[in-house]
């Protein structure tokens, strides 16, 4: 298999993940309402992130430089998939702005309204909360909003 084929499969797997997130959310929303559907999805996605956080736990609570190297250095396709920009990395915090997102791109390709894309971005981003909190850091994210620049903006702080 060529590198080009492998790359296409990688991007397709992220697109598939995005479509599944949306379809599950849509079905839940029809059954239990939008607010409850969002709550359920966020909990489940957070749990998966928490499991993934184990691989970054060795950097907690304060090695933000090590975390940056491991996290940003591990972004698929040498970073091209999410186009990260490290805006801050010091003893007090690690801030990473993503300028691309294959999930958001897939939802936009589906023709979802911007507000619905913003909702599903908010839901999907809970994987990062789980990942970094599960690793032992404090974390919050600013997710994509209609008219906004780039995608998610991650804010990682030393753990307690």
Domains of the chain with CATH codes: 3-157 (3.30.1380.20)
Give the confidence band of 18 by pLDDT, cuts at 50, 70, 90: very high
What are 117's two structure tokens? Answer: 């894309």
- Say if CB 85 and CB 99 are below 8 A apart: yes
CA–CA separation, 16 vs 102, rounded Å?
A: 10
Return d(Cα 142, Cα 157) in angstroms, integer. Answer: 14
- In the structure, what pLDDT confidence band is assigned to residue 25 with cuts at 50, 70 and 90? very high
Give the model's pLDDT for residue 158: 98
What pLDDT sits at residue 86? Answer: 98
On whether the CB atoms of residues 45 and 124 are closer than 8 A, the answer is yes
144: closest CA among 123, 127, 121, 112? 121
Predicted TM-score (pTM) above 0.85: yes
Q: What is the pLDDT of residues 42-61, one digit of tens each?
A: 999 999 999 999 999 999 99
Rounded CA separation 83/17 (Å): 19
Residue range 93-132, pLDDT digits in tens: 999 999 999 999 999 999 999 999 999 999 999 999 999 9
What tens digit of pLDDT does each residue of 74-91 get? 999 999 999 999 999 999
Alpha-carbon torsion angle 9, 84, 50, 132, nearest 10: 170
Residues in the chain, overall count: 160
């Amino acid at each position: 298999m060529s590198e080009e084929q492998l790359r296409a499969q990688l991007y397709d797997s992220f697109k598939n993940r995005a479509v599944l997130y949306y379809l599950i959310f849509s079905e839940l929303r029809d059954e239990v309402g939008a607010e409850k559907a969002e709550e359920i999805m966020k909990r489940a996605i957070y749990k998966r992130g928490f499991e993934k956080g184990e691989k970054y736990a060795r950097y907690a609570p304060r090695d933000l430089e090590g975390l940056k190297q491991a996290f940003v250095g591990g972004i698929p396709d040498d970073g091209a998939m999410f186009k990260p920009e490290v805006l801050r990395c010091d003893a007090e915090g690690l801030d990473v702005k993503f300028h691309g997102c294959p999930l958001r791109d897939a939802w936009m390709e589906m023709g979802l309204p911007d507000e619905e894309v913003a909702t599903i971005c908010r839901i999907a981003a809970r994987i990062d909360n789980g990942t970094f909190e599960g690793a032992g850091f404090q974390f919050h994210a600013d997710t994509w909003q209609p008219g906004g620049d780039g995608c998610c903006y991650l804010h990682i702080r030393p753990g307690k």
